[in-house]
A and B are shown apart, each in its own frame.
Chain A
Amino acid sequence: MAATAVFGRRARRPRQRLAWGSPSVYFVALLLIGMMLAPVVYIILGGFRTNAQITTDPAGWPSPWKVNNYLDVLTGTTFWRQVFNSTLVAVFTTVGVVTLGLMTSYIIARYRFRGRGAMYSLFAAGLMFPLTVAITPLYVLIKNLGLMNTLPGVILPQIGFAIPMTIIILVPFVRAIPDEIQEAASIDGCGRLGFFWRMVLPLAMPGVITVGILTFIQSWNGYLLPLFILNREETFTLPLGVQAFASQYSVDTAKVLAFTSLSMIPALLFFSLFQRRIVGGLTGAVKG
């Protein structure tokens, strides 16, 4: 059956492929991008309209363009305080995850001791423990530690839950560093810790950056953990802030849209700065 199909089409196919290939591919690609971006564009444009405009014509263009909504959000303190909180949480989480993850990966990858395999298995098993399962007791634990309504109460668990993936990604990086380099370094008088600082850190940098970016974006967008831990408004991170703002100003759609689109900007900015790393890192991670 396959053979007849092959013979039947043999002559025509290659030419045909070139002929219809390009325009329809571009068309589908454009359609796809349109569908992906339309909601984002709608949210951003909606912020430039007034509530009256939105009510009379939900699908209209801003006319005239109003910047009041954006100015209101940007001149208030709420938005900036939440940006500050989110930044603190994301930066400390990322630095913590990368530091702890790289040190532990170095030990697992290049030291030989009893319990090494067990340690790796323990961290790998951590992938099976999602935050959703642990959240209720975690809340109790954080409360008992007196960390409710504090940013460390969010940062520490976030580090814990990001460690398994970090170690899984970083151990092969550190292991791939040739032994010859370590031998050469040791001949030149560089100890194991010196080797870690001078060689492992720079050589594992691509992996570290990929892990760091993924952790940062995940922390920036995190919702469940802050929802449980942060109940006071002055400790809110951006996702909680967006939700609180949306329910507080539920009648002021335009303002909610403005707040929402402003809160997207940092993640989008961060993503576009490092998109090659993210897409590239995933490309490496699951190359089939």
Chain B
Amino acid sequence: MSDTQHESVRLAPDPSPGLTTVGGDTPVVSPPAGRRTRRGIGWPARLEIALMTGPTLVVFLSFVILPVAMAAYYGFFSWQGYGPAEDFVGFRNYLLIFEDSTFLAALRHNGIIVVLSLLLQGPAAVLLALLLNRQIRGQTLIRVLIFVPYVISEVVVGTGWSLMLHGDGVVNAVLGKIGLGWLQSEWLSDPKIAIWTLMGILTWKYIGFAVILFLAGLQGIPEELTEAAAIDGASYWQIQRRITLPLLGPTIRIWAFLSMIGALQLFDLVYIIWGQYIADTAGTSTMATYMVANGRTAGEYGYGNAVAVVLFVVSLVAALFYQRFVLRRDTEGAITGGRN
């Protein structure tokens, strides 16, 4: 069970089974799927295929692919969301987007959030996973508890944290009580601090996911390797640095990919906490909050769609670059390693 799933995730970015046979040589490993039905497919089989994939294709094409295509189309219009779109404006929406300093600020915030998420959560999660990977009692309980923030909805997290972080909230009160009064701040509304507050909340919410992933990865590393190194006299940290970390590489790279895409698409938490002064006052706006504020809320659906396209292209370019330069060795291994 676990092996097949593992394979699926590593292959996920690549259209795998069809292309393994198309690309390169003839299929080395014949796909097990075919054997039963290779005799040629008759009408009953065709009917089964149509009945069992038809509904899925309809739902998927109409609610996922069609809207994305619509976004690309309406992005070229000035359109208020009702009636046919007739006011074709070419690339003007896109020009406006890149001339708007608010959007550029949002783009920059997204960049900062991507980098800080990787730098703050990555090392911390690796250290915590190494720590929790040792033989300790209550390991399962600890795993469940650090996963709790991940399960709580963004709205609850946002509402709770904004109540705790506002000027008269519990965070400032606790700081005052323990003699750190000079640290008290306007955590949410001070533009110099707000993005760090956001990073703190994001780390709190999502680090559990990273730790669980890394723990899973650590458990796939054979104990013989670390034992052999220990017998050869390697210290604990040498073992972690030279053996564990490199072997954890694929897991870390997949996590970094997910984290990066998530940070580029970030919407819920920012919109809930900073919704009322979203523009750029607190310095936390993202491309997605900009899209909602200037698209739907402003009634400019054509413009909103153009922002969606920009958001999509930015994510896609980031994803492709990442796959090309970072994930390549993992997926290459997965493809050439073949399916068995």
Which chain A residues have a beta carbon within 8 Å of chain B's beta carbons?
A: 2, 5-7, 9-10, 13-14, 17, 21-22, 25-26, 28-29, 32-33, 35-37, 39-40, 42-43, 46, 55, 57-59, 96, 100-101, 103-104, 106-113, 116-130, 132-141, 156-157, 159-161, 163-164, 168-169, 171-173, 175-176, 179, 182-183, 186, 192-193, 206-207, 217, 220-221, 223-224, 228, 238-240, 242-243, 246, 253, 256-257, 260, 263-264, 267-268, 271-272, 275, 278-279, 281-288
Ordered by A's residue number, 23 sampled pairs between the chains whose C-beta atoms are within 8 Å are: A29-B132, A40-B148, A42-B160, A42-B164, A58-B173, A117-B17, A124-B15, A129-B65, A134-B71, A136-B305, A137-B70, A137-B305, A138-B63, A159-B63, A176-B4, A238-B153, A243-B159, A281-B5, A285-B9, A286-B254, A287-B5, A288-B216, A288-B220
Q: Determine whether the beta carbon of B238 is less than 8 Å from that of A2.
A: yes
Distance from A6 Cβ to chain B, minimum over Cβ atoms (Å): 5
B52 neighbours in A (Cβ, 8 Å)? 103-104, 106-107
Stretch in B98-106, B136-144, B186-194 touching the partner: B136-144
CA distance A253 to B53 in the complex (A): 50
Distance from B253 Cβ to chain A, minimum over Cβ atoms (Å): 9
Complex A-B, nearest 4 residue pairs according to Cβ-Cβ distance, in ascending order? A117-B18, A121-B15, A288-B217, A160-B63
Number of residue pairs A-B, CB distance < 8 angstroms: 362
**Which residues in chain B, 6-21, are within 8 Å of chain A measured between CB atoms?**
6-9, 12-19, 21
Q: Determine whether the beta carbon of B12 is less than 8 Å from that of A168.
A: yes
Distance from A1 Cβ to chain B, minimum over Cβ atoms (Å): 11
A172 neighbours in B (Cβ, 8 Å)? 4-5, 7-8
Known: A25-B134, A136-B71, A242-B155. 16 other contacts (CB 8 A): A5-B235, A13-B235, A36-B148, A107-B49, A117-B19, A132-B288, A137-B308, A138-B63, A141-B62, A161-B64, A173-B4, A182-B36, A206-B1, A264-B152, A287-B220, A288-B249
Partner of A124, one of B16, B59, B255: B16
CA distance A168 to B8 in the complex (A): 6
**Which residues in chain B, 281-328, are within 8 Å of chain A measured between CB atoms?**
288, 291-292, 295-296, 301, 304-305, 308-309, 311-312, 315-316, 319
Q: A141-B70, A223-B153, A242-B159 are in contact. Are A134 and B64 (CB under 8 A)?
A: yes
A160 neighbours in B (Cβ, 8 Å)? 59-60, 62-64
CA distance A264 to B149 in the complex (A): 10
CA distance A285 to B8 in the complex (A): 8
Q: Determine whether the beta carbon of A173 is less than 8 Å from that of B1.
A: yes
Q: Determine whether the beta carbon of A279 is less than 8 Å from that of B144.
A: yes
Q: Determine whether the beta carbon of A242 is less than 8 Å from that of B156.
A: yes
A129 neighbours in B (Cβ, 8 Å)? 64-65, 68, 312
B163 neighbours in A (Cβ, 8 Å)? 43, 46, 253, 256-257
CA distance A272 to B155 in the complex (A): 20
Q: Determine whether the beta carbon of B155 is less than 8 Å from that of A9.
A: no
CA distance A157 to B61 in the complex (A): 10
A127 neighbours in B (Cβ, 8 Å)? 12-13
Closest to B330 in A: A288
Q: A117-B18, A137-B305 are in contact. Are A13 and B236 (CB under 8 A)?
A: yes
Q: Determine whether the beta carbon of A163 is less than 8 Å from that of B59.
A: yes
Q: A111-B49, A288-B220 are in contact. Are A268 and B170 (CB under 8 A)?
A: no
Q: Determine whether the beta carbon of A134 is less than 8 Å from that of B220.
A: no
Partner of A136, one of B8, B41, B62, B304: B304
A284 neighbours in B (Cβ, 8 Å)? 1-3, 5-6, 216
Which chain B residues have a beta carbon within 8 Å of chain A's beta carbons?
A: 1-9, 12-19, 21-22, 32-38, 41, 45-46, 48-49, 52-53, 55-57, 59-60, 62-68, 70-71, 74, 81, 128, 131-132, 134, 136, 142-149, 151-156, 159-161, 163-164, 168-170, 172-174, 177, 204, 208, 212-213, 215-221, 230, 232-236, 238, 242, 247-251, 254-255, 261, 265, 267-268, 272, 288, 291-292, 295-296, 301, 304-305, 308-309, 311-312, 315-316, 319, 339
B212 neighbours in A (Cβ, 8 Å)? 279, 282-283
CA distance A60 to B232 in the complex (A): 54
Q: Determine whether the beta carbon of B168 is less than 8 Å from that of A58.
A: yes
Q: Which of the listed residues A42, A172, A240 has the most CB atoms from chain B within 10 Å of its own CB?
A: A172
B66 neighbours in A (Cβ, 8 Å)? 137, 141
Q: Determine whether the beta carbon of B62 is less than 8 Å from that of A286.
A: no
CA distance A157 to B23 in the complex (A): 33
CA distance A78 to B288 in the complex (A): 30
Q: Determine whether the beta carbon of B33 is less than 8 Å from that of A59.
A: no
Q: Determine whether the beta carbon of A140 is less than 8 Å from that of B301.
A: yes
A126 neighbours in B (Cβ, 8 Å)? 60, 64-65
B34 neighbours in A (Cβ, 8 Å)? 112
Q: Which of the listed residues A7, A33, A240 has the most CB atoms from chain B within 10 Å of its own CB?
A: A33
A182 neighbours in B (Cβ, 8 Å)? 36
